Amino acid sequence: MKGLVVVALSALAVSACRAPLPPPVQPFTRTPDAPFRAEAPAPVEASARDTRSSVSEHRLANGFTLLVVEQPGVDLVTLAYVNRIAREDEPGRQAALATITASSLLEGTIVSKDEILTNVRIGGLRPFAFATRSGTYVGVTVPERGTRTAVRTLAKIVRRPAFDAPAVHRVRNHFIQDLELEFLGDPIVQARTASDRARFGPVHPWGRSRDDIANSSFGISSDVVATYHAQVYRPEESALVLVGAVTATVALPWVERAFGDWARGEGDPGALGDSPTSAEPSAPAAQLVHREGDLGTIYLAIPTAAFGEDDMNAVVLLNHVLGGSLVSRTQVSLRHELGLTYGAPSAYEARPHAGQLVLTTQMEIEGVPAAIAALMRQLDRLKTERVSPDELEAARAAYRRSLELSTRVDAITFVGRAFCARRDAAWIEAQASKSEEVTAQDVEAAAKKYFAVAPTFIVVGDADAIQDELSQIVAVKRVEPRGRGGAYIVITAP
């Protein structure tokens, strides 16, 4: 009898775990605190301290750049070394070379002729190091009193790496393992891989499959990493971004001592990739990547202005209206009106040469066709209907907050991207006022310009469950994953 009770309770637990989530709250309420807002108190006086952080720039004789974002009253300082030519997925280079080099920097630093420091820590913390398609970042956050030591240690990490063969081998193998696990475990990663491959083709590095990246990475040795480091880690292409309770006056002598004797690079660092050519479909389409299960993932990437281009601010506001907040159009349509998902957010991604708006959402696989139809309607609306004053002001307010650089993440991200795009501190400071000048007509013009290309949706999920219905909405190309890392074979095509 006791065994039967245990079995019954186990079955009940399993049933409870599999119970469907409740639908989103309907009807949609724009402000849950509406009663409070109806009788809101008078606004308090602005704080005596300006919330917007100032940015200053200083150039050393060897071309090294110091960018300081002063945040008085914050007892921490974040330091980030930024290299704008150590970029991931560059044509002519082995896949993942920038990433493996960045990670290997933390595995060993030459302190003296006979001493190598491993497992480097700054202020007791392990630094972060990663490479993106815009550049490489290496940094750490420390208490204010530890800033001077952190500058000196970070310079040694970047300038004097040991690149011990076993350490580089270990970093490379961990990268390849993580690459496969990430791809197999996350359908969004699978969708992003398929999207880049569909847009740029398998030849360009941005269109590489995970299998291609892994196979190329096997050839990366400590000698290859050391050669790459000597080519692209040079002061004239590097910057140190300091964010927090530090001033340029105090920090500049430290930076001079740590980086000032770094000799400029010699020779050509290697040709950097030009803007990749992306496919432009003539009609809306969907690439259906088969994956077993009840979950459907939708991924849409729309090419837009690159970071630093003239209409970048209009694109950022366009993104906010599209899906950049909980009250934006795709969120309201898919979550509150149709009840298909708990979120349909979009984001502006800065890449060299060309940015993109990326929208991702997940739901039960049966809801995918209706969701894609709704997303297409929202894209068309932005091309034909001018955004409302409320939408525009909400978008401006959100962008305004990020441009205040009041958080370490905002500051490092925006200032680092600006440096990688070869924009200076004056340009950074000007963006706050320029964003306020963007009009509803500018947002509409950006939508017409960038949404003119027919969208290609990437759908990851049970293809058999939705292929027929989805074909009634868009042209469908069904593909099957081949191998374990994002190579695909076409099964059906229109």
For residue 409, being part of any structural domain is answered with yes
**195 and 60: one domain?**
yes
pLDDT in tens, 154-175: 999 999 999 999 999 999 999 9
303 and 424 housed in the same domain: yes
383 and 482 share a domain?
yes
The count of other CB atoms within 10 Å of the CB of residue 237 is 22
Q: Is 468 a member of any domain?
A: yes
Asked whether residue 376 is domain-assigned, the answer is: yes
**Domain extent for 378:** 285-492
With cut-offs at 50, 70 and 90, classify the pLDDT of residue 16. Answer: very low
Residues 355, 214 share a domain:
no
Digit-coded pLDDT (tens) for 49-67? 445 678 999 999 999 999 9
What CATH code is carried by the domain that includes residue 239? 3.30.830.10
Indicate the pTM of the whole model: 0.83
Average of per-residue pLDDT across 299-321: 93
Same domain flag for 199 and 81: yes
Query: Is residue 250 located within the same domain as residue 306?
Result: no
Q: What confidence tens digit (pLDDT) does each residue in 63-109 have?
A: 999 999 998 878 899 999 999 999 987 776 778 899 999 999 998 88
- Give the mean pLDDT of 303-320: 93
274 in a structural domain = no
Query: Could you tell me if 218 and 349 lie in one domain?
Result: no
Say which DSSP state 449 is in.
Answer: H
Domain membership flag for residue 29: no
**Statement to judge: residues 222 and 311 lie in one domain:** no
How many H-runs (helices) and E-runs (strands) does the chain carry? 17, 15
Highest mean pLDDT among 191-195, 239-243, 400-404: 239-243
Q: Tell whether 24 is covered by a domain.
A: no
Tens digits of residue pLDDT in 378-435: 999 999 989 999 999 999 998 988 888 888 888 999 999 999 999 999 999 999 888 8
Q: Taking Cα atoms as reference points, which of 331, 407, 417 lies closest to residue 137? A: 417
110-134: average pLDDT: 80
Gap between the Cα atoms of 390 and 72, Å rounded: 33
Same domain, 249 and 298: no
Label residue 127 by pLDDT band (50, 70, 90): very high
Confidence (pLDDT) at 8: 42
Tally of domains in the chain:
2
Q: How far is 260 from 83, CA to CA, in rounded Å?
A: 16
On average, the pLDDT of the chain sits at 84
Where a domain ends, among 242, 259, 276? 259
Among 24-38, 276-290, 436-450, where is mean pLDDT lowest?
A: 24-38
DSSP annotation of 63: S
Strands (E) across 104-178 are located at 109-112, 115-117, 128-131, 136-143
Give a yes or no: residue 279 inside a domain. no
